[in-house]
């Protein structure tokens, strides 16, 4: 190969290298733009999530500590909610709200730090890590909430049976077995619908607000790693 051919081959190689470099820069800019868009949507959904969680917990608190006691007091002065049930409900509400506040603080601290010192992959890893932690804490809190709701429902059903027997002037052991079985079956059906509906509603809300964007952030990080 003479000097002219060698120079031509080198020029072709250099040209391809520049094209590859430009392609990588274009892909990196595209991924950077996508990441910025996803982060903006997550931050918007943080504000929405705060409002939704606050309103739902407020409704639960009003129902548990104001409406239900008023109804029970009107029905029978002797009916009292056990203290441990009140504590269980309060713990579930506080835990869910506290996990959200924890997530918000950790998220904005990480974002603030990464705006100054992190590159794009490191920013993505930090945000993904925080979202993964929040996801686990959220589902644990949701389990506690569903468990608390289920225990409250069972306690309310039992109290209702006792009250009904008392109103009819009969002892609990005098209630017909078929009536007890029917009450248990109907109670279980209502409990499954209530607990299942509550779980599905909160899970849908989480996926809608954060879960879908978490998947997209992981995909973006994977694509970034492939071009590095």
Q: What is the pLDDT of residues 68-120, one digit of tens each?
A: 777 666 666 566 666 777 788 888 888 888 888 888 888 888 877 776 566 77
The pLDDT assigned to 78 comes to 61
| pLDDT of 47 over the 80 cut | yes
At 19, is the pLDDT very low, low, confident or very high (cuts 50, 70, 90)? very low
pLDDT digits (tens, 9 = 90+) for 134-162: 888 888 888 888 888 888 888 777 777 77
Which is higher by pLDDT, 172 or 39? 39
Contact 144, 91 (CB under 8 A): yes
The model carries a pTM of: 0.73
The pLDDT assigned to 14 comes to 47
Query: Could you tell me the residue ranges of all domains in the chain?
Result: 12-227
> Over 43-86, what HEC string results?
HHHHHHHHHHHHHHHHHHHHHHHHHHHHHHHHHCCCCCCCHHHH
The pLDDT assigned to 9 comes to 46
The beta strand positions in the chain, using DSSP E, are: none
Contact 81, 69 (CB under 8 A): yes
Query: Dihedral sign, CA of 126, 128, 129, 131?
Result: positive
At 33, is the pLDDT very low, low, confident or very high (cuts 50, 70, 90)? confident
């Amino acid at each position: 190969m003479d000097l002219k051919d060698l120079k031509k081959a080198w020029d072709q190689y250099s040209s391809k290298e520049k094209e590859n470099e430009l392609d990588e820069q274009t892909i990196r800019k595209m991924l950077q733009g996508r990441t910025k868009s996803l982060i903006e949507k997550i931050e918007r959904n943080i504000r929405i999530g705060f409002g939704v969680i606050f309103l739902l917990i407020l409704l639960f608190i009003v129902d548990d500590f104001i409406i239900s006691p008023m109804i029970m007091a009107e029905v029978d002065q002797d009916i009292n909610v056990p203290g441990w049930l009140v504590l269980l409900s309060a713990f579930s509400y506080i835990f869910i709200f506290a996990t959200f506040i924890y997530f918000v603080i950790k998220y904005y601290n990480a974002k603030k730090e990464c705006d100054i010192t992190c590159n794009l992959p490191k920013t993505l890893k930090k945000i993904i890590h925080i979202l993964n932690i929040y996801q686990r804490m959220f589902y644990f809190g949701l389990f506690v909430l569903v468990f608390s709701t289920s225990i409250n429902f069972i306690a309310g059903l039992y109290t209702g049976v006792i009250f009904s027997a008392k109103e009819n002037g009969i002892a609990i052991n005098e209630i017909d077995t078929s009536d007890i079985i029917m009450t248990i079956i109907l109670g279980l059906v209502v409990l499954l619908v209530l607990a299942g509906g509550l779980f599905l509603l909160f899970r849908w809300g989480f996926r809608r607000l954060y879960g879908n964007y978490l998947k997209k952030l992981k995909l973006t990080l994977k694509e970034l790693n492939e071009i590095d």
